[in-house]
A and B are shown apart, each in its own frame.
Chain A
């Protein structure tokens, strides 16, 4: 699992997705959570808050997930980015992998899925730190 002090940014235009992810994260012990409801706001908060972990929706008004991810990667290669995707089309998800997403979660998600992905990212970071 990622450390609990990890700063999280949720970027999704659905209030419910944000609220549910926030609730799940809180239950998992994370407390530093900020939210953005579109790509532009997300990009601004990224610059202001320098989060360690981002949940990023793919389809949003004012800058979609791919555009936000490209800008983030220009600045910071280390922030962990999890793509929240409603598209089960592999092509789109492979595309965001190409431009630097660390993981993906298909909607509708479950608590277990989010917890699994966070564990996996935590383990990856642990491995990277060792090597």
Chain B
């Protein structure tokens, strides 16, 4: 290894700055000549004032103190200057002619980082200088990194606080939304309730009119019958709205009982006869894999099936077919209602059980719908701790499947209490 290579090995890329403090003696000239090959910038001064002036403006790597020029006390006060310049990361190297342990140890106490005893070998001296430059550089880099870290930490702290504030705001907004949503449910309930009374009265008046005006001419009679139909539709919608609002506020009762499946399903499907016959829809009840009976709320599950069958009828083309199949799978009851209808586009499948969702598909004979039926069906099935889902193929039809567990919890509310309270003794 050449002398240059040795020197440049591990030498910082920037020019090092060496501050030589001492008298211009021959030895001092020797020192400066020895440092010269390192391409360092060597600055010289002799007094504390000089040192201070330089430290104020120039970042120094090595402070080279020529001991023979000064007393220990002077050296100590030079070193104390470092406190005034906390940005300086310099390495203090003492050049001393004395190899006295006491003297060197005192110099360490005064604050030097290392020492070189003169006369030295110039390579050892350069190695010492290089160590000093490297340490000073590392020290500086470390300081910079620390500063960056603390800046980062401060900005993280700010970010954390912001996130915290945002979370708090979100929480508040969430609470407001929840309150609004509850208010909305409550309002829907109240409105539906208050509308139901007068419309029921209109419904009854209409019934009486129809009874009394049997001999009316065809046209006015059809007006009257249309009125009755419309009122019935509004009442259905109101009762669905009320149903849903009771479900949402958890006021619905579930009374599970052992239900014989064939005797339960046949009348429900028979009820649909008129609707199916109008469109010449064939239907089939498949109980081959069905258990004899199952436990659920007869009235509520009937409501769900009526809704699914009505939908199947509404959305099926004339001359098609509907299949209801019941089976037991993994301890669950599975009731599937399959139609050969228009099918449901994939993007609607997920939304179909939400409130007020009317899909792309239109009833094939202009039947009306509220968009609440499936939302209610879902609530009923979920009250049974069951699941409802749909699969569909455009142009081929849809299958709605209800899955009910074998044990269903009874949910009792006020109706039962009332009936008990007023029961005939």
Contact = CB atoms under 8 A, between A and B. Distances in A.
| B is bound to A | yes
A83 to B, nearest CB: 10
Nearest to B413: A90
B205 interface: yes
B201 A20 contact: yes
Interface string B406-425: 00000001110110011011
A7 interface: no
B197 interface: yes
B204 A20 contact: yes
B422 A86 contact: no
A104 interface: yes
Chain B, interface size category, equals 10 to 19
Contacts of B413: 90
A123 B424 CA distance: 9
B193 interface: yes
Q: Which has the most chain A C-beta neighbours within 10 Å: B197, B414, B417, B422?
A: B422
Interface residues of A, number: 25
B421 A97 contact: yes
Given A17-B201, A20-B201, A124-B424, A90 B418 contact: yes
A111 B198 CA distance: 15
A91 B421 CA distance: 11
Contacts of A88: 193, 414
Contact of B198 (A16, A97, A109, A120): A16
Contacts of A14: 197
B14 to A, nearest CB: 85
A47 interface: no
Interface in A104-129: 104, 107-111, 120, 123-124, 127
Interface string A6-26: 000000001011001001000
B418 A20 contact: no
A120 B200 contact: no
A70 interface: no
A89 B418 contact: no
A89 B424 contact: no
Interface in B192-218: 193, 196-201, 204-205, 208
Contacts of A91: 414
Interface in B377-425: 413-415, 417-418, 421-422, 424-425
10 contacts: A16-B198, A20-B204, A23-B204, A86-B193, A86-B197, A91-B414, A97-B422, A104-B418, A104-B422, A109-B200
Interface of B: 193, 196-201, 204-205, 208, 413-415, 417-418, 421-422, 424-425
Interface of A: 14, 16-17, 20, 23, 86, 88-91, 93-94, 97, 102-104, 107-111, 120, 123-124, 127
